[in-house]
Chains A and B, each alone.
Chain A
Amino acid sequence: EAQVTQNPRYLITVTGKKLTVTCSQNMNHEYMSWYRQDPGLGLRQIYYSMNVEVTDKGDVPEGYKVSRKEKRNFPLILESPSPNQTSLYFCASSAQGGVAEAFFGQGTRLTVV
């Protein structure tokens, strides 16, 4: 089954404690992205990757890091989380970038206290 898998689904952490949200896709897609979803703001892109070792900033990259060492994995790293990063995070992948269907993970609800 084609899918994008994120872990964990829920996470509560404290300010400043480094965390990683994992994302893996089994469709051999080249494009992967991270979005955050906030009430009244829709989804905003954090980072994206067009292929292995190729990553770039989206609209709201501050406070986040990513890496793309393998085609299937695209982890999101919060080196020093802050309460304003409390949000619902989605990983997405697609075969051809924006014009192709994007497949989304189930989301990670992060709370930073």
Chain B
Amino acid sequence: GDSVTQMEGPVTLSEEAFLTINCTYTATGYPSLFWYVQYPGEGLQLLLKATKADDKGSNKGFEATYRKETTSFHLEKGSVQVSDSAVYFCALHSNFGNEKLTFGTGTRLTIIP
């Protein structure tokens, strides 16, 4: 079945550091890929998405590129801020099977001033 593997957390960085959160996936066909963010006490919000190979999703300074050859969708940001502290989830939607998002386990990110 479909699966998403994220790098283990938690991740702690200093403000203005470069961020990478790795995400790889296994899926049938050509899934759509997403990054969702969960701020403390809130539900998940869509951060960015890519629906086909080589697409780059971007939002709020975050970027991720859909790499079919490596089945990856790594999240990057050039200069993180304290306000980026949250839990980040990589997810996929497959073209086969039921209507669901398959999530990774989440990566907790803490940015210290």
Contacts and interface: CB of A to CB of B under 8 A. Distances in A.
A33 B42 contact: no
A104 B43 contact: yes
A95 to B, nearest CB: 12
- How big is chain B's contact interface, by range? 20 to 34
A77 B75 CA distance: 36
- How big is chain A's contact interface, by range? 20 to 34
Nearest to A49: B99
A98 B43 contact: no
Contacts of A59: 100
Contact of A42 (B42, B94, B100, B105): B105
B105 A40 contact: yes
B25 interface: no
A12 interface: no
A95 B82 CA distance: 32
Main secondary structure of the interface of B (DSSP, over half): loop
A32 to B, nearest CB: 10
Interface in A1-50: 4, 31, 33, 35, 40-45, 48, 50
A4 B36 CA distance: 16
A99 B100 contact: no
Nearest to A96: B99
A48 B44 contact: no
A87 to B, nearest CB: 14
Q: Nearest 6 pairs between A and B by C-beta?
A: A98-B93, A104-B43, A42-B103, A97-B99, A45-B100, A43-B103
Interface of A: 4, 31, 33, 35, 40-45, 48, 50, 56, 58-59, 90, 92, 97-99, 101-102, 104-107
28 contacts: A35-B103, A42-B4, A43-B44, A43-B89, A44-B103, A45-B98, A45-B100, A45-B101, A48-B98, A48-B100, A58-B98, A59-B100, A90-B43, A92-B43, A92-B44, A97-B93, A97-B99, A98-B32, A98-B93, A98-B94, A98-B99, A99-B32, A99-B93, A102-B46, A104-B43, A104-B45, A106-B41, A106-B42
